[in-house]
Amino acid sequence: MVSDELQQLLLKYCEPEDQLLQHIDRETNLKVLLPRMLSGHYQGRVLSMLSKMISPKRILEVGTFTGYATLCLAEGLTEDGIIYTLDINAELEDMVRENFAKSPLNPKINYIIGDAQESLKEIKETFDLVFIDADKKNNGTYYDLIFDQVRSGGLIIVDNVLWSGKIVKNAQDKDTKNISSFNDKVNEDNRVEKLILPVRDGLFVIRKK
């Protein structure tokens, strides 16, 4: 949704991508199916900035993929902070653990493989920040499952809510309908304040009142 020329300008005026994140980006594009699922440099800096602005003690990420966004979010953690990151893809586990092991933030990362809905039942925490970037049909399910565990003033961030612009075009495929329904669900929720940032594929930033 952003031209290549504008994208380069945006990258020029944000913090640089460190060597580990560059490595994860490169390895993901070389070795992993659907590498476009990776957050990437600009969105990664947005996630990092939002995290640093609220200095979270507890973060939840639903959908680890190759760990790029995990590390960006973890940059804002307090000294005793923890990020729980959940993913169902065991095939990527070795790669992801190797990526995390290269980071000084590794001790703050609790990486859990399994069905996220089941894993969430076992995590008894109050979260300051939640990032949902998993199977889009379950956005609403994850939102409902975690809502009571988010503190007042905490953030829930949901990725891909513009779905390559298909939301605007009112496309009738199942995925687009699911995302549109979720967006409407949040818009009608008077327990939150919300806005969509047109970053990459759309970030819904939701603040619990």
pLDDT tens profile 112-170: 999 999 999 999 999 999 999 999 899 999 999 999 999 999 999 999 999 887 777 77
**Contact between 92 and 66 (Cβ < 8 Å):** yes
Specify the pLDDT at position 134: 94
Question: Which two tokens mark 53?
Answer: 């602005």
Separation of alpha carbons 196 and 120, rounded Å: 25
Specify the pLDDT at position 143: 98
Specify the pLDDT at position 198: 92
Separation of alpha carbons 47 and 113, rounded Å: 22
In sequence order, the β-bridge partners of residue 129 are 59, 155
Separation of alpha carbons 161 and 170, rounded Å: 13
**Contact between 86 and 109 (Cβ < 8 Å):** no
Element housing 49 (H / E): helix 40-54
CB-count exposure of residue 101 (10 Å: 0-12, 13-18, 19+): exposed
Separation of alpha carbons 93 and 67, rounded Å: 10
Share of the chain above pLDDT 90, in %: 88
Element housing 203 (H / E): strand 203-208
Phi, psi of 61 (to 5 degrees): -120, 125
Separation of alpha carbons 206 and 192, rounded Å: 6
pTM, whole model, 2 decimals?
A: 0.95
Separation of alpha carbons 166 and 162, rounded Å: 7
| CA nearest neighbour of 75 among 108, 111, 119 | 108
DSSP summary character for residue 136: G
Tens-digit pLDDT profile for residues 59-78: 999 999 999 999 999 999 99
Separation of alpha carbons 195 and 186, rounded Å: 10
Specify the pLDDT at position 173: 83
